[in-house]
């Protein structure tokens, strides 16, 4: 059976989501990267209505004090069925369903990305 | 006109209601609360063990309570049945424990497999098929009845919103009631049942798009008072569509049972349903060959109308368990038409066929390694 997450830590090191996999592998996903890779139909423009940028809008320049914007972070995660993780972000976005396979594909660690590079 | 009623009057009326052992409900401490409002009387009850809502005795008791309070003429009667404290079944020590296969022992609690929306449900079994017309609903209904006949607490959820046939198959006599904002499922043949068929006028069609179907699945899981169940059998629509996906997302299904006729074609199409479940990490519990052979009701001659054994062969080839054969038998259909699932009578060959499938299914479940719950922090 393909590897699945045993443990997901939202407040991981270096503003990353830490995942411990069933096959022993460990992944660290920086928040911005993971949010950028949201597979939902809106983010990937699967609707054909124009994808929404994941970056936050620039603060209004006319006000005297810049509006404090909390840095992006995941506020909640839950298992979706037995095959995926759903993440709710601090910017309100909550429609991303990251299948375990997809999540594993996204692992940015040296070993995983090396594997990708060498298969080219 | 509604009289102004005192809670004392309600308590007095309730103390006249006896449980099957002749004991007075109030003296037993079963009445947890009484609230009298404008044209409304609400009662919170705990049923005296071993009576539960799922048994005919329980239903009878609730009726008696309802009638006793209604007679006070104080308005609408609402009964809220509180779930009594759960005792752990003997021997259930964790997900890897194999339960005894003796009679009456309930399966061990599967950690992490209870659907979040219906936490009292221990095991969820989806009954699926590739194409329609293979008898999936008949198998689902009879499987549920067979499990209930073996002493398990069972629910049956009919999610085929386009062709909800379950109420007819079980001879639905009662309608669901809404009590305290939750849907109370009617109980037929010992099984709690919910189906779109209950909520639609007979000749009305459901012409819905995805989001409505998703919402229906969520409501059937979360807004129905299933209570504590050993099994929730879920009758899916044929194929691989919105409802199947919604279910796989909304519930952590323990597993799926695939129904197929012996013909290769039925199984080729069924393989699509199998592929879907595998992609969504739902274990295939096994394959049932329905309409496996025909037995003539007049002379008993056996004929393999749709071939025979194709599903068993495919199960072996694909590495799935084979759960059993159900014959194509006039009696199954006539009893379905009467609303009396044949599984009720284990002495008949038809009833026995379904009960054997239920037994084999429980054995499969016992062997399964139950899923780990992901720790999220």
Look at residue B36 and tell me whether its pLDDT is greater than 50. yes
Q: What is the pLDDT of residue B115?
A: 59
Can you give the C-alpha Rg of chain B in angstroms? 22
Mean per-residue pLDDT for B224-253? Answer: 92
Domain boundaries, chain A: 5-52+71-118
- Listed in sequence order, the residues at least 6 apart from A61 whose beta carbon sits closer than 8 Å to its beta carbon are none
Tens place of pLDDT per residue across chain A (120 aa): 689 999 999 998 899 999 999 999 999 999 999 999 999 988 887 766 666 655 444 443 444 555 666 789 999 999 999 999 999 999 899 999 999 999 999 999 998 988 765 544
Candidates A95, A73, A70; CA nearest to A84 is A95
Q: What is the pLDDT of residue B76?
A: 81
Distance CA B270, CA B134 (A): 10
Distance CA A11, CA A17 (A): 6
Do B249 and A84 lie within an 8 Å CB cutoff? yes
Q: Which residues in chain A have their CB less than 8 angstroms from residue B248's CB?
A: 81-83
Q: What is the pLDDT of residue A15?
A: 93
- Listed in sequence order, the residues at least 6 apart from A22 whose beta carbon sits closer than 8 Å to its beta carbon are A3, A4, A5, A6, B372
Q: What are B311-343's pLDDT values in tens digits?
A: 888 888 889 999 999 999 888 988 888 899 999
Distance CA B293, CA B315 (A): 17
Q: Which residue has the tokens 């499969």?
A: B364
Q: Which residue has the tokens 């009590």?
A: B179
Beta strand segments in B214-338, E:
229-235, 255-260, 284-289, 294-295, 302-303, 322-325
- Supply φ then ψ for residue A17, to 5 degrees: -90, 125
Candidates B57, B59, B10; CA nearest to B31 is B10
Q: What is the mean pLDDT of chain B?
A: 82
Candidates B259, B243, B239; CA nearest to B251 is B243
Mean per-residue pLDDT for B72-88? Answer: 66
Q: Which residues in chain B have their CB less than 8 angstroms from residue A77's CB?
A: 376
Q: Which fold has domain A5-52+71-118?
A: NE0471 N-terminal domain-like (3.30.2020)
Q: What is the pLDDT of residue B239?
A: 85
Q: What are B107-143's pLDDT values in tens digits?
A: 333 333 455 788 899 999 999 998 888 899 999 999 9
Do A8 and B373 lie within an 8 Å CB cutoff? no
Q: What is the pLDDT of residue A20?
A: 95
Q: Which residues in chain B have their CB less than 8 angstroms from residue A11's CB?
A: 377
Can you give the C-alpha Rg of chain A in angstroms? 16
CA distance B356 to chain A (A): 29
Q: Residues of A near B (CB-CB distance < 8 A)?
A: 1, 4-11, 22, 77-85, 97, 100
Candidates B95, B94, B90; CA nearest to B105 is B90
Look at residue B183 and tell me whether its pLDDT is greater than 90. yes
CA distance A116 to chain B (A): 23
SS3 B312: helix
pLDDT tier for residue B54 given thresholds of 50, 70 and 90: low
Mutate to test the interface with A, among B117, B374, B375 (most CBs of A within 10 A): B374
Q: Which residues in chain B have their CB less than 8 angstroms from residue A6's CB?
A: 372, 374-375
Q: Is this prediction's ipTM beyond 0.85?
A: no
Mutate to test the interface with B, among A11, A18, A82, A94 (most CBs of B within 10 A): A82
- Which domains does chain B possess? 10-81 (3.30.300.130), 121-367 (3.40.50.300)
Q: What are B83-104's pLDDT values in tens digits?
A: 554 333 333 333 332 333 333 3
- The first and second tokens of residue B195, run together, are 């189906």
Do the beta carbons of residue B124 and residue B370 sit within 8 Å?
Answer: no
Q: Which residue has the tokens 């939902």?
A: A40
Q: What is the pLDDT of residue A78?
A: 93
Do the beta carbons of residue B136 and residue B238 sit within 8 Å?
Answer: yes
Q: Residues of B near A (CB-CB distance < 8 A)?
A: 248-253, 279-282, 371-377
Q: What is the pLDDT of residue A50?
A: 62
Mean per-residue pLDDT for B163-170? Answer: 88
Buried b (16+ CB within 10 A) or exposed e, B16-53: ebebeeeeebbeeebbeebebeeeebbbbbbbbeebbb
CA–chain centroid gap for B227, Å, is 11
Do A79 and B373 lie within an 8 Å CB cutoff? yes
Q: What are B247-306's pLDDT values in tens digits?
A: 999 988 999 999 999 986 667 888 889 999 999 999 999 999 999 999 888 888 899 988
Mutate to test the interface with A, among B221, B243, B275, B281 (most CBs of A within 10 A): B281
Share of chain B above pLDDT 90, in %: 37
């Amino acid at each position: 059976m393909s590897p699945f997450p045993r443990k997901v830590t939202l407040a991981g090191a270096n503003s990353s989501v830490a995942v411990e996999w069933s096959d022993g592998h460990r992944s660290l996903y920086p928040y911005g990267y993971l949010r950028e890779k949201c597979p939902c139909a809106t983010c990937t423009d699967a609707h054909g209505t124009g994808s929404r940028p994941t970056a936050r809008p620039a603060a209004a320049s006319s006000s005297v004090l810049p509006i404090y914007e909390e840095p992006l972070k995941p506020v909640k995660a839950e298992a979706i069925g037995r095959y995926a993780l759903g993440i709710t972000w601090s910017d309100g976005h909550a429609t991303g369903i990251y299948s375990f396979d997809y999540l594993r594909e996204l692992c940015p660690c040296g070993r995983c990305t090396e594997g990708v590079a060498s298969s080219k | 006109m509604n009289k102004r009623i005192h809670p004392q009057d309600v308590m007095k009326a309730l103390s006249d209601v006896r449980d099957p052992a002749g004991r007075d409900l109030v003296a037993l401490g079963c009445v947890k609360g009484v609230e009298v409002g404008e044209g409304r009387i609400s009662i919170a009850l705990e049923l005296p063990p071993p009576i539960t809502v799922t048994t005919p005795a329980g239903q009878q008791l609730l009726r008696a309570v309802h009638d006793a309070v209604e007679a006070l003429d104080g308005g609408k009667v609402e009964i809220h049945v509180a779930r009594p404290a759960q005792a752990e079944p003997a021997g259930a020590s964790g997900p890897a424990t194999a339960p005894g296969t003796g009679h009456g022992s309930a399966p061990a609690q599967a950690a992490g497999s209870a659907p979040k929306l219906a936490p009292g449900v221990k095991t969820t079994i989806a009954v699926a098929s590739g194409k329609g017309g293979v008898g999936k609903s008949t198998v689902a209904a009879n499987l549920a009845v067979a499990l209930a006949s073996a002493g398990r607490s069972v629910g049956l959820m009919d999610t085929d919103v386009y062709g909800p046939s379950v109420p007819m198959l079980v001879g639905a006599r009662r309608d669901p009631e809404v009590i305290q904002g939750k849907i109370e499922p009617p109980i037929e043949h010992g099984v709690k049942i919910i189906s779109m068929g209950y909520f639609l006028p007979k000749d009305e069609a459901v012409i819905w798009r995805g989001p409505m179907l998703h919402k229906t699945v969520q409501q059937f899981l979360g807004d129905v008072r299933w209570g504590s169940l050993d099994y929730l059998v879920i009758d899916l629509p044929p194929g691989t569509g919105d409802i199947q996906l919604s279910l796989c997302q909304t519930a952590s299904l323990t597993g799926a049972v695939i129904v197929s006729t012996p013909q290769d074609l039925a199984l080729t199409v069924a393989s699509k349903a199998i592929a879907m479940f595998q992609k969504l990490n739902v274990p295939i519990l096994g394959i049932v060959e329905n309409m496996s052979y025909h037995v003539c009701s007049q002379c008993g001659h056996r004929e393999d109308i749709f071939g025979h054994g194709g599903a068993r062969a495919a199960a072996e080839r694909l590495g799935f368990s084979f759960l059993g054969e159900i014959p194509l038998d006039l009696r199954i259909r006539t009893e379905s038409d009467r609303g009396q699932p044949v599984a009720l009578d284990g002495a008949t060959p038809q009833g026995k066929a379904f009960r054997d499938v239920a037994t084999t299914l429980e054995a499969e479940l016992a062997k399964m390694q139950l899923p780990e719950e992901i720790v999220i922090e």
